[in-house]
Structure 1
Amino acid sequence: MTDPVLATHNLQKSFGALKATNDVSIDLYPGEIHAVIGPNGAGKSTLIAQICGGLKPDAGRIELLGQDVTQANTATRAKAGIGRTFQISALAMEDTVLQNVMLGAVGADGSPWRFLRPVLRDKALRSKAADALKRVGLQDSAARRTSDLSHGQRRQLEVAVALTLKPKAFVMDEPMAGLGAEGSKTLTGFLDGLRDEAPILLVEHDMDAVFALADRISVLVYGQIIETGTVDHIRSSAAVREAYLGGDA
């Protein structure tokens, strides 16, 4: 059997008496989209922060390509191959699209921000950034100010930043947030093709997008995974309907 690209093993994280992550084990295999769903306050953001290095677990471990990265910081994990996109955009709105890819790529690599501006003259990095923009379909927008992009285009731009680091796995935190129906449809099609670049761990509230994209779904409730399975399995699960999906399943 193929080994997972990304895996957590029995992760635990508490804030006082609150168990935000309670013995969470989850894995991501090559070519798949594994969605994590759950109600507000379920612990999804805490789980993502632990996987990406912003928060250290109290117990358990995180592996990328079989290597333990539990103690590695965010920049080290990015260089190792975890490509993250954020629920709230971290882009510099006054910079151009191309500048965001160049500066974001170097910043994610752990370089101090004060040294980034001279990097804009780096021809090799400019070429790499231009290639990433082409792969996400934004090559014609390279000179545009980022604030002029649509919300969906900004999501694609975040992916372009991640692509410059040649990610082994994407971790996406609610990429559909703030998009209308048409924007969600467009981004769903884009993400469907992106799994060929690297598998995607997708945290998302848009259930239409989740059901259209996911190969597997894990349901997180009060810090615990209560069910993992295919779309059909999750749709038919009485426990999931009671805890989260309700009559919309």
Structure 2
Amino acid sequence: MTDPLLHIEGLSKSFGALKATDDVTLSLMPGEIHALIGPNGAGKSTLIKQVAGALAPDAGTVWLNGRDVTGLPSAARARAGLGRTFQISSLAMEYTVLQNAVLGALGARGSVWRFLGNVMRDKALRGTAERALARVGLMEQALVRTSELSHGQRRLLEVAVALTLEPDVFLMDEPMAGLGADGSRRMTGFLDDLRSRAPILLVEHDMDAVFALADRISVLVYGKIIATGTADEIRANPEVRSAYLGEEIVI
């Protein structure tokens, strides 16, 4: 049997009396898109921060490529093979598209930089950055200032920056946010193709995208996974439907 590339076992996190993450266990298999959904306040952001290394759990383990990375910070997890995109953009808007991608490639080395000009003259870094930009279709915009990109193009640039890490696993936090119907359809097609490069743990509110993409869906409610299954199984699950009462989400 194939081992999961990402496995989360018994992850828990409390803030006082509030259990934000309650004994969460889930896995991500090669070639898979595993979606994590849940109503507002379910604890998705807290869980993702623990997986990414931005927040230490109270209990539980995060395994990446068979390695226990629970004690590693975000940068070390990135170098170990975890590529992350953010719900809120983390791009340097004053830099060009290529400069952002090159800095991503530099981070994959675990290096620091003092002068951007010196970094941009590194042929290996530029090559890695240009290949990532070509993969997401942004090479024509390589010299454009990032602030001048459309919202959808910025989301693709975030994916390109993650690609420069040559990750084994993608962690994507609401990549459809703010894209609109056409942008969401384009991003859905792109992610469907990207899974062949590395599997994706996808946190998303766009249910059309989730049901179109996900091989498995886990539903998080009050910090606890209440169901995991295929799109059809999740649609038919009465506990899931009850959890979404009052939410403007059609499942």
Q: TM-score if structure 2 supplies the norm length?
A: 0.95
* Counterparts of 1:109 and 1:75, CA distance in 2: 10
SS in 2 for 1:8: strand
> Is the contact made by 1:218 and 1:225 (CA closer than 8 Å) also made in structure 2?
yes
Please name the residue that 2:189 is paired with: 189
* Counterparts of 2:110 and 2:124, CA distance in 1: 18
Counterpart of 2:215, as a letter, is D
Counterpart of 2:34, as a letter, is H
SS in 1 for 2:182: helix
Pairwise CA RMSD = 1.4
Change (3 A) 1:109 1:204: farther
SS in 2 for 1:248: coil
Change (3 A) 1:91 1:108: farther
> Is the contact made by 1:78 and 1:109 (CA closer than 8 Å) also made in structure 2?
no
| Distance apart, 1:149 and its partner CA | 1.2
Change (3 A) 1:113 1:173: farther
* Counterparts of 1:220 and 1:113, CA distance in 2: 40
Change (3 A) 1:182 1:134: same
| Distance apart, 1:74 and its partner CA | 0.7
SS in 2 for 1:35: strand
* Counterparts of 1:58 and 1:93, CA distance in 2: 35
What stretches of structure 2 of length at least 5 have no aligned partner? none
Q: TM-score if structure 1 supplies the norm length?
A: 0.96
Counterpart of 1:46, as a letter, is T
Please name the residue that 2:142 is paired with: 142
Say whether residues 1:40 and 2:27 are aligned partners: no
| Distance apart, 1:120 and its partner CA | 1.6
* Counterparts of 2:113 and 2:19, CA distance in 1: 35
Q: Deviation string for 1:82-108 (max 9, x for gaps)?
A: 000000000011111000001133235
Please name the residue that 1:88 is paired with: 88
Sequence identity (%): 70
Say whether residues 1:99 and 2:115 are aligned partners: no
* Counterparts of 1:113 and 1:235, CA distance in 2: 49
**Between 169-178 and 98-107, the greater mean CA deviation after superposition:** 98-107
The size of the alignment, in residue pairs, is: 249
Summarize the alignment of residues 45-124 of structure 1 with structure 2, pairs less than 5 Å apart: 45-107=45-107, 109-112=109-112, 114=114, 118-124=118-124
Q: Which runs of 4+ in 1 moved over 6 A?
A: none
